[in-house]
Amino acid sequence: MRRGTYRTILSLIMVIAFFFLSVPCVGNATEKTDGGKSVIFLLDASGSMKSNDPDRFVIDDIVQMIYTLPTEYQAGFVAYGAEITAEQGLAGNGGRNNVAAAVKGVEYKGYSNAGIGLQRAVELLLEDAGKDRHIVMFSDGEILMDSQEMTEASGALFQSAVGQAEEAGITIHVLGLGEDMEDMGNSIFDAAHRTVGQSCHAAQAEDIRKAISQVLVEGLAIKRSTVAVVEAGGETETVGVELPYAYADKLRILLTSNAPIQNVSANFQAESARQFNGERHALIEIEDPSGGELEIRFEGIPGSQVEIYVIPEYYVDVRAEVIYTDRVPEEAGDIQGDNIMAEKDAYYQRTACILYTFSRADNENILLWNTDYFQHNKISVTVNEETKELALNEGRLQIEERVTDSCIYEAWFDYSQLPVNVVGTDSARVELEGAPPLPEPQEEPKPPYLLIGASIVLLLILLTIVLLWLRRRPKPVPAPLEERPEPSRYSYVGMLKLYITRTRAGYDIPPLSFNLFRTSAGRVISLQEIIKNCDVKEEFAGAEAIYFKAGPGRTLILTNNSDCTIMKNREILMKKQSYQLPLDSKVDISFEDEISELTFQYKEA
């Protein structure tokens, strides 16, 4: 056989039926090594704050922020007056109570030496190796010291600290309070501008909640969602919510208001939980919630508005799976001609389909984000410095990659577009195997000429036999006519009046009458005979199997052996049954052709 023919057949078979080679492969996920994120809250605790925040709302709000931060954040605190008045180094989730206690212990007094405050904050952050570092600064005015020189010195220190922060990639967010901070271009706000942080201003301490929200959401990129906004009525309010965060590791439920919130309680199913109550906020930290339903009760000051937020956290692990699809290069033959067996083309064309799934860090069997809530949410994936956005489909991300040689395939994930806070693995690495070589060409088997020829001959023989059988088959014998009923010993009386109400031909046949009393006693007569006797040429299918014979007491016996529908007194007369018809009976017959109809009356002659 010619090589060209072989090549064509092989190519065709391979193209039509793709050769699927599915090789599941678990990728070696790489762990993130750095220490996460850190925030230092820097508070201007100078005497002027007494007037700008007489109710210490700012203190309460900083505490709220500390507890609101997701677990991956480390929090610290620095307060300054003329000097550093309070300080608490960075602490993880477990040490936040200490930080909160430091905040609560602050007293507003003395001058405002922001330089030394910021300097200290930057120092604390520089001690941490985390990549994402922030300072959230609360101030109600410019630097003001005892003397001009000191003020200037402090200013210089402040600028130097800002420079340090800028250099170290620390972001400074400034929340200005009161009239003195209305000028968003002052030196304090300049720190935010220079480090590309958030600048917010609140005229009064009561209004600082909005600024805090901005810093949390936009500055610190904390994912939270509002689940309810309730107008407090003075009584216990109950809010029931269905949370979509299946298998979340931690949920923080934050209640904030512009007025005090009291008697906060919550119903939920979880492994453990903690509750932190502030003056105007409450935070419930739920570890490993097992149900989606949550019920919160609280009492608020009448007229106040309570906002309820959820801050979900997931600790994730990434798994990768590779499926290879190999197919014969389609155009190889056409392009290469007889060089099909050239070394270059002796390999399959391989496509690797890499599927990433996300599971809980503590249990790899629990797959995450495969609910409707996460469907089509985007995750940015960076491979070889090329970033593309992929949408979650039933909790999976899929990338297709053409593979020629074996290689390491590493992808980095950016979860910032997900509506939840994600901690944990953000990259995955898999080894891709190179395409396998094409199999050796095999000798094409000869067509089974003998078998084909034999089959054709056999088929012809069979056909002839069938035809002969069909021709010689005995013709179907018509079903034997139903037996006539037994003759009767009675004599006929009366007559039949026949009204052919419908015929197949559509003709109107005048009413007919048949004198029964002239029929010899004992004779069984069919309806067809009666109709024929009346000189009607129309055929009535089934009439030959409807029989009459004389019955006792001047009655007529009707036996129906046909498939006609016979009705009398709203009753259908059964097949192969005999019925006794008294004089004046009226019977309606629909014949087997389902067209012709006849009505007869058995009457006195």
Contact predicate 576/464, CB 8 Å: no
Task: Report the residue number, 411 or 581, with the smaller CB distance to another protein.
Answer: 581
Tokens of 95: 């040490």
Task: Report the residue number, 444 or 584, with the smaller CB distance to another protein.
Answer: 584
Question: Rule CB under 8 A: is residue 501 a binding residue for another protein?
Answer: yes
Q: Which residues contact 286 (CB under 8 A, 6 or more apart)?
A: 250, 251, 252, 253, 268, 270, 272, 273
Query: Shortest Cβ distance from residue 500 to another protein (Å)?
Result: 5
Task: Report the residue number, 33 or 569, with the smaller CB distance to another protein.
Answer: 569
Distance between CA 258 and CA 260 in Å, rounded? 7
Interface map 586-605 toward another protein (x if CB under 8 A): x-x-x------x-x-x-xx-
Q: Which of 568, 592, 593, 595 binds another protein (CB under 8 A)?
A: 568
Give the bridge partners for 386, in sequence order: 383
Query: Shortest Cβ distance from residue 590 to another protein (Å)?
Result: 8
- Helix 187-194 crosses helix 148-168 at what angle (to 10 degrees)? 10
Task: Report the residue number, 19 or 507, with the smaller CB distance to another protein.
Answer: 507
Task: Report the residue number, 98 or 585, with the smaller CB distance to another protein.
Answer: 585
Task: Report the residue number, 247 or 499, with the smaller CB distance to another protein.
Answer: 499
Q: Which residues contact 109 (CB under 8 A, 6 or more apart)?
A: 45, 46, 47, 50, 81, 85
Q: Which of 500, 531, 550, 558 binds another protein (CB under 8 A)?
A: 500
Listing DSSP states for 103-128 in one string gives: HHT----S-B-HHHHHHHHHHHHHTS
Distance between CA 363 and CA 359 in Å, rounded? 7
Question: Rule CB under 8 A: is residue 510 a binding residue for another protein?
Answer: yes
408, with CB counted inside 10 A (0-12, 13-18, 19+), is exposed
Task: Report the residue number, 4 or 511, with the smaller CB distance to another protein.
Answer: 511
Question: Rule CB under 8 A: is residue 471 a binding residue for another protein?
Answer: no
Query: Shortest Cβ distance from residue 570 to another protein (Å)?
Result: 5
356, with CB counted inside 10 A (0-12, 13-18, 19+), is buried
Distance between CA 442 and CA 506 in Å, rounded? 77
**Angle in degrees, CA 106, 107, 110, rounded to 5:** 125
Cα torsion 359, 360, 364, 370 to 10°: value is -30
Task: Report the residue number, 67 or 600, with the smaller CB distance to another protein.
Answer: 600
Question: Rule CB under 8 A: is residue 386 a binding residue for another protein?
Answer: no
Question: Rule CB under 8 A: is residue 490 a binding residue for another protein?
Answer: no
Query: Shortest Cβ distance from residue 595 to another protein (Å)?
Result: 13
Give the bridge partners for 557, in sequence order: 549, 580
Distance between CA 122 and CA 91 in Å, rounded? 15
Task: Report the residue number, 286 or 536, with the smaller CB distance to another protein.
Answer: 536
Query: Shortest Cβ distance from residue 466 to another protein (Å)?
Result: 48
Q: Which of 567, 575, 578, 593 binds another protein (CB under 8 A)?
A: 567
Query: Shortest Cβ distance from residue 511 to another protein (Å)?
Result: 6
Task: Report the residue number, 19 or 517, with the smaller CB distance to another protein.
Answer: 517
Give the bridge partners for 38, in sequence order: 74, 133
Question: Rule CB under 8 A: is residue 571 a binding residue for another protein?
Answer: yes
Task: Report the residue number, 318 or 543, with the smaller CB distance to another protein.
Answer: 543
Q: Which of 235, 343, 372, 508 binds another protein (CB under 8 A)?
A: 508
Give the bridge partners for 565, in sequence order: 590
Query: Shortest Cβ distance from residue 581 to another protein (Å)?
Result: 12
Please state whether beta strands 421-424 and 305-327 pair in parallel, antiparallel, or not at all (unpaired): parallel
Query: Shortest Cβ distance from residue 501 to another protein (Å)?
Result: 4
Q: Which amino acid is at 159?
A: Q
Question: Rule CB under 8 A: is residue 297 a binding residue for another protein?
Answer: no
Query: Shortest Cβ distance from residue 479 to another protein (Å)?
Result: 28
Task: Report the residue number, 474 or 553, with the smaller CB distance to another protein.
Answer: 553
Listing DSSP states for 511-539 in one string gives: PEEEESTTSPTT--EEHHHHHHHTT----
Pick the stretch among 70-78, 186-194, 310-318, 503-511 that binds another protein (CB under 8 A).
503-511
Pick the stretch among 124-132, 365-373, 516-524, 583-591 that binds another protein (CB under 8 A).
583-591
| CA quadruple 210, 211, 216, 217: dihedral sign | positive
Distance between CA 35 and CA 38 in Å, rounded? 9
Task: Report the residue number, 373 or 507, with the smaller CB distance to another protein.
Answer: 507
Binding residues with another protein: total (CB under 8 A): 28
Question: Rule CB under 8 A: is residue 535 a binding residue for another protein?
Answer: no
Question: Maximum CA pair distance of the chain?
Answer: 150
Q: Which of 94, 474, 480, 553 binds another protein (CB under 8 A)?
A: 553
Distance between CA 542 and CA 527 in Å, rounded? 9
Q: Which of 165, 177, 418, 509 binds another protein (CB under 8 A)?
A: 509
Instruction: Look at the block and give the residue holding tokens 């919630």.
Output: 289
Task: Report the residue number, 232 or 587, with the smaller CB distance to another protein.
Answer: 587
Task: Tell me the HSE value of 107 on the side-chain side, using a 13 A CA sphere.
Answer: 2
Task: Tell me the HSE value of 336 on the side-chain side, using a 13 A CA sphere.
Answer: 17
Instruction: Look at the block and give the residue holding tokens 């020829």.
Output: 453
Question: Rule CB under 8 A: is residue 537 a binding residue for another protein?
Answer: no
Distance between CA 101 and CA 148 in Å, rounded? 34
Query: Shortest Cβ distance from residue 476 to another protein (Å)?
Result: 34
Q: Which of 83, 293, 584, 594 binds another protein (CB under 8 A)?
A: 584
Task: Report the residue number, 124 or 512, with the smaller CB distance to another protein.
Answer: 512
Q: Which of 499, 529, 539, 578 binds another protein (CB under 8 A)?
A: 499
Pick the stretch among 59-67, 187-195, 366-374, 500-508 that binds another protein (CB under 8 A).
500-508
Which residues here bind another protein, judged by CB under 8 A?
A: 499-502, 508-511, 513, 553-554, 567-572, 583-586, 588, 590, 597, 599, 601, 603-604
